[in-house]
Chain A
Amino acid sequence: MERRRALDWIIISLSIVLTALGLLGIGWLHVDSSTDAFIPTHADVVQINDRIKERFGSLDPVVVSIYAEDTILQPKYMEILKTISEEIEELDGVSTANSIANVQHLEPSFDGVEAVSLYDGDFEAMKNRIEEWPSFYEGTFLSADHTVASVLIQTTLDYDSKRLLHDLREVVAPYQGVVETSILGLPAVTEAISESLLSDLGILVPIVATLIILILYYFLRSFKATLLSLVPLIFSSSVALGIMAVAKITFTMATMLVPVLLLIVGSAYTIHIFSHFFQNRDTGTIEEVLRVVVKRNTYPIIAAAATTAFGFLAQLSSPLEPFRIFGLLSFIGVVVCAFSSLVLLPALIRVVYKQPNGKKQMKQQGKDSRLMASALNVATRHGKALLWVSMIILVIFLPLSYYFVESGTNMLDFFRPSSSLVKDSNRFNERMQGSFSMTVMIEPGEDVSILDPSTLKTIEAAIMELEAQPVVGGVQSIIPFVKRMNQLLGPGEDEIIPTVDEEVVFDFFAFDDDFYLGFEDEPAQAQEVVASAGGQGEYEIPSDPARYGLADESELANLIAQYLLLYSGNLDMFINDPLEPDVTALTLVLKSSDTNRLRTITTLIPTLFPEDWNIEVGGGEAVALALADLVTRSQIVSLFSSLVAVWFLVWFTLKSPKLATLALIPCLFALLAVFVSMHVFAIKLDIVTSLLAALCIGIGVDYAIHLLSAIVRDDMPMDRIMQTTGKAILANAASVSLGFIGLLFSRFMPIANLGVLFCIAMATAAASALLLLPAVAVHYPKLIFTRRTPS
């Protein structure tokens, strides 16, 4: 006895220490909320993004905007914009920060071209300058109605996004109340998720824990028992968090679910132990009762835990690392939870309960009894029809419903429509080109020059096609700069190109004579400047050699290179070299990041260019799109993996492949319900909801196992089975669903959606198990009973 008690205290102490260490580990968790955390480093889009970054710099533009009720083009707003732009430019991690307050404007002068500040205090002049080149300024720097102005920030490659966003908020803070401001762009969204991830866990755990307490109390009718039942759940959740901290596992939106899931899933095990403990309380001493209870429940709990754990473990087949980690952690967590329910909980009961004085628990539920009787009635009277109709529905609608499920992994969609981030983005997207972006890198090949007019014309035609798409707010490229330089420096409509018989080639080292430096004539007096007025050219890509007095396209390409020489390194986000570029980049500014629309765009892009050109699509939205594809693939792979894993496990448990197949039927109905609900409620398959399939199978199959085990035992009539096992299944489905309802309080839409969908899945799994499996037993007993007919 004393030895037993000492062992109990050792178990309890060890658990307390491990729990404390696990909870302390929260401080060391590495949080990464970006979709980048999900994408494998060898994925094509990651490689493409690396190549784009190497040539064109950072792909994460950040936009700071100010909003006015009337025009921004007035002193009070322009001074704010100027100050903000200047301060942002000084921040660490900022490569450039451009706005209408600091950008240089090129305009014609009587003898050439003049670069002036777009904003120099003269608002009339400023308006005229904007009207000279509206396609460049409007939509990017300034809204068409002039009520929104933006500072476009190009970050350095190695910037610290958290620090930069903090600094940006400090920069705009003094102007709150004077103007409305917003900070948008992928880094802002990523940071908002990061900041909310741990705090969301801080909200969800207490809510789910409260719901679990209510459920436990409902079944156990004892505060003491309820609190003790929570201990194994808290212990296993803490162990999972501790493992994450020690193993330096990144805390993503998928892994954050593990502690919450363990609270919900594990409650079934502790309920089993306590309910049996109370049922047998009068049969002996505490030690004797517990010995019997543990012995009787070891196999059912291990069997249930095994199917759930292997359902989670099927995530190891996912191509996404966070999902694999989620699967492994959940597997470990479920095993720890089941183990602690069988070891820690009895130890606690022995220490806390001096004598078996538990109250009567398990309230009789009249409604449940009637429900079970009705279910059996339906299964008996209409079983055949029910089975055939169900099978037909399953065969037709399961693949069909899955086909219609849309995937979407845009991070902004993670937030509720009422969040300030979504509101700011919508407001910005309505008036400006957009807050989402994609980059297209174009390599025409060795024999084709980017600056050839025909190449530029092909790119221009592609841009026009892309801009015709509703989702594309605008396309930024080298083209407007070429056109503008041609307009400023090119020849006028009627201007005759002066011809020079022989081009003088300057070479200051051609001769030894120091004085003349290779020129034959004796220097004479300086003569008048012969520069001619700028701004006489057309706003076009020079494409007609004759019009420019040139022989062919290659000379036109040289002319364009000479134009761009003036821009020096200022075009390095569009071309990889100002003089002889062989790669160019287009930035697609998008109003929406809807996966289907993005897919339309990415499918269209390669068709707009010659087949032998190398076209690569990158940028943040391309990552989201690639992730959507991976999530779909992951869903399919993990779905089949978990089906196979669970099938084998059930075969092993029930020792019959036919029963294993039957056991999957409720799971398949749960999946059907999930897919139909996703379609009906427009819920997308994302990095969280794609975990559902494996969860449904892992947890849902338990109902079938319990029911089939009871039927196969053949030691009681079907109505009695329904009143005992059937009711237990209903209770478990209700409790698990109630636990998952707690996820509705998450500030992240995918997690809230997961909660709703899981409730629907569990209700469907329970209902189909309680209706269809008895129907099979009644009408097709050979499928269940192999050696003899049922009594």
Chain B
Amino acid sequence: MKRVFFMLLLILVPALLIAAPSAARIMDLVIDTQKADTAAMDLRLTLIEANGTERERRIQTLSRTIDDKTSIITVFLSPESVKNTRFLSVEGEDATDQWIYLPALKRVRKISASEEGGSFMGSDFSYSDMASTTYDADEATHRLIEETPTTYVVESIPKTVKSYGKNIATVEKDTYLPLKVEFYAPDGTTLLKTLTTLETGTVGTRPITKVVEMKTIATGHTTRLEMLQVRYDVPIPSAYFTARFLETGRL
């Protein structure tokens, strides 16, 4: 769950920034400017089959980051079958604890599992894949492969290859928003997915990507992710990120 949130932050949250020529510096700035202590998001995912059939998902997330440790609550609003199913993810020193609240059983179970490689709600987004979109200077070798009057194109080759062998990100100079990211297989040549920003906007002074689309090349399957509402840096107490709160909605 943490990774979902991280991914969402990565894609949707704005960057303000001043020009910075080095590739590593550009990517560091993309990450740095996306940081927020707390955030609440209301998101719609539209899963689009290759034949055009669409399915809709709606989730809300609430997150808080302290000392680089993130806690997230994710609530499913639709489809109806999973409405009000809730996930809690609390990042600790050594591991991330996760709980699920099943409304049909009205109970909470703890889950110890890593979903890094799995697809998020059947969409084209996955946790680890999206997390690797923008590595910081230590995680990958970055190279500025192209610069246009409005964008930087940065190639990032991760030092530890997991799902991807290479990413190429097109970053807007003015905002440091990722306009396009290409995800390549571990062989570094086969294009697996592309992430495209369809619409940008601002929240206060903060530029954000409001609508993005992730396409899986092999299947032609696409997922459109729209940010319907967002709030940043709202004060949220620790008690929200507990299993009790997850189950009862009470503190």
Q: Measuring CB to CB, which residues of chain A are less than 8 angstroms from any residue of chain B?
A: 54, 57, 90, 92, 104, 106, 109, 111-116, 156-158, 451, 489-491, 497-500, 503-509, 514-515, 517, 519, 521, 523-532, 534, 548-550, 555-559, 561-563, 565-570, 572, 577-580
Q: Find chain B residues with CB under 8 A from A577 CB.
A: 47, 55, 122
User: Is B181's beta carbon under 8 Å from chain A?
Assistant: no
Q: Tell me the minimal C-beta distance from A38 to chain B in angstroms.
A: 27
Are A109 and B110 CB-contacts (below 8 A) given A509-B60, A523-B251, A565-B85? yes
CB pairs A–B below 8 angstroms (23 shown): A57-B219, A109-B110, A112-B108, A115-B112, A489-B109, A491-B107, A498-B106, A500-B248, A503-B84, A503-B106, A505-B84, A514-B231, A526-B245, A532-B109, A548-B104, A549-B105, A565-B100, A565-B121, A568-B120, A569-B119, A569-B122, A577-B47, A580-B81
A565 touches B234 (CB 8 A): no
Are A527 and B234 CB-contacts (below 8 A) given A112-B99, A114-B113, A506-B86? no
User: Is B102's beta carbon under 8 Å from chain A?
Assistant: yes
- Identify 4 new A-B residue pairs, CB closer than 8 A, beyond the known A104-B113, A158-B218, A569-B120: A157-B219, A497-B106, A517-B236, A527-B244
A504 touches B248 (CB 8 A): yes
Binary A-proximity of B139-177 (CB < 8 A = 1, otherwise 0) = 000000000000000000000000000000000000000
Q: Tell me the minimal C-beta distance from B12 to chain A in angstroms.
A: 15
A531 touches B243 (CB 8 A): yes
Task: Give complex CA distance A565, B106 in Å.
Answer: 16
Task: Give complex CA distance A565, B74 in Å.
Answer: 13
Q: Find chain B residues with CB under 8 A from A498 CB.
A: 106-107
Q: Tell me the minimal C-beta distance from B50 to chain A in angstroms.
A: 6
Q: Find chain A residues with CB under 8 A from B186 CB.
A: 90
- Taking residues whose C-beta sits less than 8 angstroms from the other chain, chain B's interface range is 35 or more
Q: Tell me the minimal C-beta distance from B64 to chain A in angstroms.
A: 12
B109 touches A112 (CB 8 A): yes
User: Is B237's beta carbon under 8 Å from chain A?
Assistant: yes
User: Is B62's beta carbon under 8 Å from chain A?
Assistant: yes
Task: Give complex CA distance A506, B58 in Å.
Answer: 13
B60 touches A559 (CB 8 A): no
Q: Tell me the minimal C-beta distance from A98 to chain B in angstroms.
A: 12
Q: Which residue of A lies closest to B230 (CB)?
A: A509
- A491, A517, A572: most-surrounded residue (chain B CB, <10 A): A517
Task: Give complex CA distance A74, B16 in Å.
Answer: 57
Q: Find chain A residues with CB under 8 A from B99 CB.
A: 112, 529, 531
A508 touches B40 (CB 8 A): yes
Q: Which residue of B lies closest to A116 (CB)?
A: B112
B104 touches A568 (CB 8 A): no
- B42, B86, B243: most-surrounded residue (chain A CB, <10 A): B243
Task: Give complex CA distance A515, B240 in Å.
Answer: 11
A489, A509, A548, A562: the one within 8 Å of B103 (CB): A562
Q: Find chain B residues with CB under 8 A from A549 CB.
A: 105-106
Task: Give complex CA distance A505, B115 in Å.
Answer: 26
B40 touches A92 (CB 8 A): no
Q: Which residue of A lies closest to B234 (CB)?
A: A514
A532 touches B55 (CB 8 A): no
Q: Which residue of A lies closest to B242 (CB)?
A: A526
Q: Which of B68-92 contact A (CB under 8 A)?
A: 73, 75-77, 79-82, 84-86
Are A550 and B104 CB-contacts (below 8 A) given A109-B110, A515-B235, A529-B242? yes
A506 touches B84 (CB 8 A): yes
B106 touches A499 (CB 8 A): yes
Q: Which residue of B lies closest to A449 (CB)?
A: B81
User: Is B249's beta carbon under 8 Å from chain A?
Assistant: yes
B109, B118, B190, B247: the one within 8 Å of A569 (CB): B118
Q: Which residue of B lies closest to A108 (CB)?
A: B109
A506 touches B187 (CB 8 A): no
User: Is B137's beta carbon under 8 Å from chain A?
Assistant: no
Are A562 and B85 CB-contacts (below 8 A) given A531-B108, A568-B121? yes
Task: Give complex CA distance A90, B121 in Å.
Answer: 25
B185, B235, B245: the one within 8 Å of A92 (CB): B185
Q: Find chain A residues with CB under 8 A from B80 CB.
A: 558
Are A112 and B60 CB-contacts (below 8 A) given A499-B106, A517-B236, A524-B239? no
Are A504 and B122 CB-contacts (below 8 A) given A517-B236, A561-B81, A579-B57? no
Q: Find chain B residues with CB under 8 A from A111 CB.
A: 109-110
B105 touches A566 (CB 8 A): no
A568 touches B110 (CB 8 A): no
User: Is B205's beta carbon under 8 Å from chain A?
Assistant: no
Task: Give complex CA distance A519, B79 in Å.
Answer: 23
A569 touches B81 (CB 8 A): no
B119 touches A534 (CB 8 A): no
B111 touches A112 (CB 8 A): yes
A156, A562, A568, A580: the one within 8 Å of B119 (CB): A568
Task: Give complex CA distance A158, B229 in Å.
Answer: 39
Q: Tell me the minimal C-beta distance from B201 to chain A in angstroms.
A: 17
A578 touches B122 (CB 8 A): yes
- B40, B50, B105: most-surrounded residue (chain A CB, <10 A): B105
Q: Find chain A residues with CB under 8 A from B123 CB.
A: 569
Q: Find chain A residues with CB under 8 A from B102 CB.
A: 489, 559, 562-563
Q: Tell me the minimal C-beta distance from B147 to chain A in angstroms.
A: 32
B109 touches A503 (CB 8 A): no
Q: Tell me the minimal C-beta distance from A232 to chain B in angstroms.
A: 51
B235 touches A514 (CB 8 A): yes
Q: Tell me the minimal C-beta distance from B118 to chain A in angstroms.
A: 4
Q: Tell me the minimal C-beta distance from B161 to chain A in angstroms.
A: 9
Are A509 and B81 CB-contacts (below 8 A) given A559-B102, A577-B122? no
Task: Give complex CA distance A350, B69 in Å.
Answer: 96
Task: Give complex CA distance A106, B115 in Å.
Answer: 13
Q: Tell me the minimal C-beta distance from A576 to chain B in angstroms.
A: 8
Task: Give complex CA distance A579, B234 in Å.
Answer: 31
A524 touches B234 (CB 8 A): no
Are A524 and B251 CB-contacts (below 8 A) given A531-B109, A579-B82? yes
User: Is B197's beta carbon under 8 Å from chain A?
Assistant: no
Q: Which 10 A-B pairs have the closest CB atoms?
A: A569-B119, A504-B249, A112-B110, A115-B113, A559-B104, A561-B81, A112-B109, A568-B118, A523-B237, A529-B243
Are A112 and B112 CB-contacts (below 8 A) given A508-B60, A569-B126, A580-B81? yes
Q: Which residue of B lies closest to A571 (CB)?
A: B122
A566 touches B82 (CB 8 A): no
Q: Which residue of A lies closest to B161 (CB)?
A: A90
